[in-house]
A and B are shown apart, each in its own frame.
Chain A
Amino acid sequence: MTSPIKAEDSGSAAVLDPELAATTENAVAKGEKQPEGRSPGQLMWQRFKRDRTGVVSACVVIFFFVVAACAPLIAKLYGKNPYTLYAQEPDYPFLLDDFAMPTGSFGGMSGDFWFGVEPKLGRDVFTMLLYGMRTSLYMAVVVTTLCVVTGVVIGMVMGYFGGRVDYWMGRVTDFFLAFPQQLFFIAFMPVVTAMFVSPADETPTYLRAVAIILVMWFLGWMGLARLVRSSVLSLADREFVEAAKVSGASPWRIVRKEILPNIVTPILVQATYILPSTILTIAFLSFIGVGFVEPTPDWGRMFAVGADVYEQDPMFMFFPGVALVTFVLAFNLLGDSVRDAFDPKTGR
C-alpha cells in the first residue's frame, strides 16, 4: 500500500485519502488477496459451527423450547390435557387396577396414552410432561434474565465506581453468598407467599410462581456480579476507556459503548450455566414440596410422585427422567461449546 515516502510526496493529508483509495482499488483489481475483516462474533460463530457436539446440543435445546412453547397446540392435536383424571372418565374404564396402578405393561402406555398414565389419579403423562416443561422453562428464563440483569448492573456499578461503593457493595455480596441457598429457599417460600396472601386462603398458582421467582432472584445474582465486577476492573484501566473518558464521554456512554460489548462473552457463558441450574432448583423445590403443588404440572412434582410409586410403577419416572437428563446434558454441553467458541484458549 502507500509507503510513507509516497505519502510525504503527495503533500497534504487531503490528497492522501483518494490516492490511498485508488491504490487499494488497484490491488483489488489485480486480484491480490485482501485480509478479510471479521468481527469477534463472526469468528465465534465459525468456530461454533465446526463443533459438532455444540450444534447437536443447541438443536436439542431449541427443540425443548419449541415444544414447551407449543405445548397447548400439541396437547390439542393429541386430544388430552394434564388436568383431567382420565381414570374417572367413562371412556376409559380399565385405566387403573384395584391398587390404583396403571393396567397394562410399561405404566399403561397405549395408543391413547403415549407415555402412560399417572398412578392413583390417572392423568396423562405425556401432557403432564409437556406442560411441566413449559412451567420449568418459563420460570427458568424469567429467573435467569432477572439474575443476569441484576448481576450485570451491580457488578458494573461496583467495578466502574470502585472505592467505597465497591467496598460496601462487595460486603453485601459476600453477605448474601454466606446464606445457605437451598435452606433459604425452603425457609423463605412460605414467608414470601404470606406477604401476598393470607395463610388461611389457598395460594393461587401465579403467586407461587412469583414467590419462587422472587426467592431465587434474591440469591441468584451474586456470582455474576462478582464476575462482571472483575471484568470491568480489568477493562477500566485500558487505553480505549481512558481515551473515551478524556474525550468527555459520559459514564453511561462508556459503560454502554466501551465496556459492555467487551464483557458480553463471559456474561453469556455464565447465563448458559445459570439457566439449567435454575431449572434444577425449581424441580428441587417442587420435589420436596415447597415449590409448585397440585395440580400445576411440574417436573419436580412428577419426580416426587415417581419416587413415591417407584417400587410399583418404575415407568412413571422414566419419561420425566429422560427429559430432564437430556435437557440438562444438552444445556451443559452447549455451555461448554459456547465457551470454547468464544475463548478457544481454555481447554476442557
Chain B
Amino acid sequence: MLQFLIRRLIGAVVIMFLIGAFTFFLFYTVPQDFAALSCGKNCSPENLAVIRENLGLDKPITTQFWEFMSGIVAGRDFPQGHCSAPCLGVSFDSGNFVWDSIVDRFPLTLSLTVGGLVIFLTLGLGSGLLAAWKRGTVIDKLVSGASIVLSSFQIYLLGPIVLGILVYSTGIMENPKYHPFTENPATWALGLLIPWAVMATIFTAQYTRMSRSTMIEQLQEEHVRTARAKGMSQRFVFFRYAWRGSLIPIVTILGIDLSALLGGAVVTEFTFDLPGLGRLAVDSSLTKDLPLTMGIMLFGAFFILILNIIVDLAYAYIDPRVRLS
C-alpha cells in the first residue's frame, strides 16, 4: 500500500515535470513578445524594458525554465517580494503571485467537483442498480429512457432552465452563490445545491446507463449463477457478488472521466456565474496572461493526477485481484 503510494507519487511528479516542461516550452517559444503583450497596446520602450527585466525574459530560455522549475520547489524572489515554495510565477496582468490567485479560487472549484462527484456516483450507481434489478419492467424503461435523453443534455442548457424554474419565476431558491465551507456548511451546501444538481444530472445519466449494462452483464456471469444455485438469497447475490464486479469497469471509466469532471466544473462556473478556477483560466487565457494560464493548467493536471491515484486505490479495494505492489 505505502509502496504503491510512493511509486505513484513519484510517477505523478515525473508526469508533472513533463507537462510543465512541455507547456513551458510551447508557451515561451511562441514567436510573440510577451513583454509587449503584458504591457498593452500603447507601450513606451522604457516600460517594455522594465517589464522584460522583471519577467526575466531577457535571459536565455533554459535559464528561465530552470528558474521556473526551481521556483516551484524552493520558491524564488521577484521585484514584488519573495514568492514562497510552490511558486508558479507572477501574473502579467495583475502582478499578483499566480499561486495566491489559484488558492483564492480553488475552494469553489473543489466544492463543485467533489460535491458533484459524490452526488452523481450515488444517484448514477443507484438508479443503474435499480434498473438492472427491475429489468424489463416499467421502472427500468423509465430510468433507461430518461438517462438516454438526459445524457444528451448539457450543463449550459439545463442550468438556465433550472434557474428559470426555481429562481426567476417561482423564487423557491436563491441565485447560486459560494460561501466558504469553513464559514457555514449549511449555507455552503444550500448555495451550491443548484449547480451540483445540474452538473450531477448530466453525469448521472451516463453512469446510470453504464452501471445498468455492467450489472446486467455481471448477473449473467457463472459465479453469480453458482451463488444463486447454492441457494443464496437474491439480495445477497445481487449486492455482494454482482454489484462488486460491476463496479470495476465503472471505476475504470471514472478514472478517465476525471478531466471531463473538471471541465464540467468550468462550464458550471460559467453557467451560474460563480468565480472559480475555470473562470480564472478563461479570463487569463483571454488577456493572454501566460504565467497565470500555465499555473492553472499545471495545477489542474496535478489535481487530476491526485484524484486518479485515489481512484486507483479504490480500484484495489473493490477488486482484490488487483495488486498494488
Contacts and interface: CB of A to CB of B under 8 A. Distances in A.
A321 interface: yes
Contacts of B286: 190, 289-290
A11 interface: no
A314 B32 contact: no
Contacts of B300: 180, 183
B159 interface: yes
A187 B280 CA distance: 11
B151 interface: yes
A198 B301 contact: no
Contacts, number: 132
A194 B297 contact: no
**Which secondary structure characterizes the binding site on chain A?**
helix
Q: How large is the interface on A (under 10, 10 to 19, 20 to 34, 35 or more residues)?
A: 35 or more
A288 B278 CA distance: 9
A179 B282 contact: no
Nearest to B303: A180
Nearest to A223: B256
B6 to A, nearest CB: 19
B57 to A, nearest CB: 15
B288 interface: yes
Interface residues of B, number: 53
Contact of B30 (A186, A195, A288, A328): A195
Given A187-B293, A284-B263, A321-B157, A199 B168 contact: no
B299 to A, nearest CB: 9
A111 interface: no
B41 A194 contact: no
B281 A186 contact: yes
Interface string A169-189: 000000100111111101111
B259 A182 contact: yes
A186 B303 CA distance: 17
| Top-8 shortest CB links A-B | A182-B263, A329-B152, A310-B160, A328-B152, A180-B300, A183-B300, A187-B297, A180-B259
11 contacts: A178-B301, A178-B304, A183-B296, A183-B297, A186-B278, A194-B288, A288-B282, A289-B282, A290-B282, A303-B156, A310-B160
Given A180-B259, A183-B259, 20 more contacts: A178-B19, A186-B266, A186-B285, A187-B296, A187-B297, A194-B30, A194-B32, A284-B267, A287-B156, A287-B267, A288-B270, A289-B286, A290-B286, A307-B156, A310-B164, A311-B163, A317-B157, A324-B157, A325-B149, A329-B148
